[in-house]
Amino acid sequence: MQTFRDLEKHLGLVPGRSAAALAEASAGRGREEAFRRQNPRALQGLMEVALIQSSASSNAIENITVAPGRVTELVQDKTEPQTRSEGEVAGYRKVLDTIHSSAEHIPFTPKVVRQFHRDIYTFTPTPGGRFKNSQNEVARFDAQGNKLTVVFKGVSPFETPNAMDELHERFGEALKNGGHSPLLLAGSYVFDFLMIHPFNDGNGRLSRLLTLLLLYHCGHEVGRFISLEKLMEESKETYYESLEKSTSGWDECNHDIWPWLNYFLGILNAAYEEFEARAGELMGGRGSKAMRIKLFVRSRASDVFTFDEVHQALPDISSDHIRTELRKLRDAGFIESPGRGRKEWRRLSTAF
């Protein structure tokens, strides 16, 4: 809530780089809306891939991983979670479904935040939806889960309920007053939410879901077609670096929020850039089915995949069509088949 206690101090003078990023986001939004109105059916494949990527990547940032084939099955609701990690992926998908289907009707309140947190843990033994009862922190971890550094500590459990109420009240007032860009206010909310760190666990994943909801409320729907979470996973180091740069002095309202906001806007504009590239493929005469097969191969968390996994993820595309497209990717040097039978494939590059 510290950012919102003095918005003029933190957002009153927008740096040139940030102003340019805001203009770029506005232009990207316009192009995305135009394409969506003209070609609504063509985007179904993008939506399916984004849902899978978002469910996998947001959890992977927190070192929660699931076998790629299982992620697809969980997201498509074709199986029940068998492990805690699978339960957390399924819970994330549940909240994604809610946001994508009902964003305009979801009020942005502390109650909704707690409800989203509860739903993340629907398929696990953890009771979600309750503010923290112990002090927590944000830390960097290596691939083995070992703590490297502490980025920051959240507010105390005693202060958390009032801090969340104040954050939402000030955020709502700032939106109503209209003195600052809604995108900057959305990014500032996410940052202050992370500083408060209101729950014992799940704050990072919830912050990414709230980012998606806030972008919807700001009129930016690109997260429906491009996974913001995957872009964040791919820029994980920059994500933590921007947080660290903006954290110092937050307790005394003396922090510099622009490193974080520049990252926030950068992710949004990267999503628009990727959307335009994918939309261009759709309109390039190669057909949406070919594009969806390429997107599946390109977006895999693992370099190894099977023919059956492609067919399972894209059940409306014939086996012959899938085989044809895989052969094209093989002949172009993007994938290979390590075995004799062509059932298993290995991705060599994503530059297609």
Which domains does the chain possess?
Answer: 2-282 (1.10.3290.10), 288-347 (1.10.10.10)
Task: Give the helix ranges, DSSP H, for 103-181.
Answer: 110-120, 160-177
The answer to whether 74 and 89 are in contact (CB under 8 A) is yes
Cβ-proximal residues to 332 (8 Å cutoff; 6+ apart), any chain: 352
Tell me whether residue 195 is exposed, middle or buried, using C-beta atoms within 10 angstroms of its C-beta: 0 to 12, 13 to 18, 19 or more: buried
Which candidate, 62, 42, 33, places its Cα nearest to that of 201? 62
Residue 341 pLDDT: 54
Query: How many whole angstroms separate alpha carbon 160 and alpha carbon 203?
Result: 13
Both tokens assigned to 253: 């309202």
Torsion angle of C-alpha atoms 36, 37, 42, 47, degrees rounded to 10: 40
pLDDT in tens, the chain (352 residues): 889 999 999 998 899 999 999 999 999 899 888 888 877 776 777 888 888 888 888 888 888 888 877 888 888 777 888 888 889 889 999 999 999 999 999 999 999 999 999 999 999 998 899 999 998 877 766 766 677 777 777 788 999 999 999 999 999 999 999 999 999 999 999 999 999 999 999 999 999 999 999 999 999 999 999 999 999 998 988 998 998 899 988 888 899 999 999 999 999 999 998 888 777 766 554 446 777 788 778 766 677 888 888 887 777 788 888 889 898 898 888 888 876 555 788 888 766 7
Tell me whether residue 320 is exposed, middle or buried, using C-beta atoms within 10 angstroms of its C-beta: 0 to 12, 13 to 18, 19 or more: exposed
Backbone angles phi, psi at 253, to 5 degrees: 65, 30
Residue 286 pLDDT: 45
Residue 196 pLDDT: 94
Both tokens assigned to 43: 């985007």
DSSP E strands in 239-329: the ranges are: 304-306
